[in-house]
Amino acid sequence: MSDQIYNYSIQDMLQLLEHDFQESGLYLDFRRNYSDNPLKHPYRNHNYTLIIVTQGTIEVQLDLISYQLAAHTLALIPPQTVIYFKQLSEDLHFVTLSFDKSFAIDHTQNEKSDFTLLAPHTVTHLGLSDEQLQTLLTLCELMDQKNKQKDSIPQYIEAIHHLFAVFLLELKAISVANNTDLKERTSRKEHLTLHFLETLQLHFKKEKHIRFYADELCVSERYLAKVVKEVTSKTIGELIDKAVILEAQLLLSNSSLSIGEIADVLNFNTTSFFGKFFKRNVGCSPRAYRNSLA
């Protein structure tokens, strides 16, 4: 276990995996195994990560939920999720795609595709039929091929953008077939809420008051509170507390930091105040929570 949860951008991930920078903004990785896995510790991703397992199994913890990804499964992991690869089978074959939100928005806004699949800030876990798996793999191979043809095809980035839009359409169709509840469009209020949640993930350790988030989003505190409550059914205070508690649980689960050090990381004035806050929200003390995981 590490003493902290690392924060990795796409550039950080490329360096760890010894991959080259791709000007297209879309990164694909085809692997037959992960015996040299450089990601043996929990880390928070700053980008979307999509994993398609074609053979073998991956046991991965996403925030505090463990998933068993077997062959013919797909996981779409949103930004700011803490990822911890717990176990990888020796016969593992899988594909990963990585991209940030700006790439997805910029290059699908003029397509028949839309962004609704990527809007929820929750993990999407889907089973794939043989035909669905093959279609997605074919699109991945075409996008990877275009990335590698950058020196010989001037329009390779445009080709990748079109292929990515088709890829999103296929994902949306698979999600509907899996009975995933997807709205056709996100409203202005939902967009504001998404921006709030993104800002919250970046600043919750230090900023725990609504005024900061309202100023960041250029809206009034009253309007932001009303919209977020309407969309999420939770108050901003509840969402801030939830973010802090989740981070505390992750640090208690996946690090050797002392409880006092975790209180400092989360910007509590005293360890005692942190302990009372944790117990009020979780039902037990931080120490009891950590001991329950042993």
Residues 164 and 224 in one domain: no
Of 177, 210, 242, at which residue does a domain stop? 177
Total domains in the fold of the chain: 2
Residues 164 and 208 in one domain: no
Residue 32 resides in a domain:
yes
Residues 158 and 202 in one domain: no
Residue 1 resides in a domain:
no
Residue 31 resides in a domain:
yes
Write the CB contacts of 233 (distance below 8 Å, at least 6 apart in sequence): none
Residue 41 resides in a domain:
yes
The pTM assigned to this predicted structure is: 0.73
Q: Domain with 282 in it: what CATH number?
A: 1.10.10.60
Residues 44 and 172 in one domain: yes
Token pair of 217 as six digits: 């989003």
Of 123, 158, 177, at which residue does a domain stop? 177
Helices H, strands E: what count in the chain? 11, 10
pLDDT computed for residue 112 by the predictor = 46
Residues 200 and 256 in one domain: yes
Residues 129 and 158 in one domain: yes
pLDDT computed for residue 34 by the predictor = 59
Q: Which residue in this structure is represented by tokens 């001991």?
A: 291
For 198, the domain range is 188-292
Residues 108 and 18 in one domain: yes
Contact status, residue 100 vs residue 10, Cβ threshold 8 Å: yes
**Residue 25: CA atoms inside 13 Å, Cβ hemisphere, count?**
17
Residues 234 and 275 in one domain: yes
Residues 167 and 198 in one domain: no
pLDDT by residue, tens only, the chain of 294 residues: 445 677 777 777 777 777 766 777 888 888 766 556 667 778 888 888 999 999 999 999 888 788 899 999 999 998 888 888 888 898 999 999 998 877 776 665 554 445 566 665 678 888 999 999 999 999 999 998 888 877 666 688 888 888 988 898 898 888 887 765 544 445 678 778 878 988 898 899 999 999 999 999 999 999 999 999 988 888 999 999 988 998 898 888 877 889 999 999 999 999 999 999 999 999 999 999 999 877
Residue 223 resides in a domain:
yes
Please, what is the Cα angle at 56 between 50 and 61, to 5 degrees?
50
CA 158 to chain centre: 26
Q: Domain with 107 in it: what CATH number?
A: 2.60.120.280
Task: Return d(Cα 10, Cα 72) in angstroms, integer.
Answer: 25
Residues 97 and 236 in one domain: no
Of 117, 147, 177, at which residue does a domain stop? 177
Residues 114 and 142 in one domain: yes
Residue 183 resides in a domain:
no
Residues 167 and 192 in one domain: no
Token pair of 1 as six digits: 């276990």
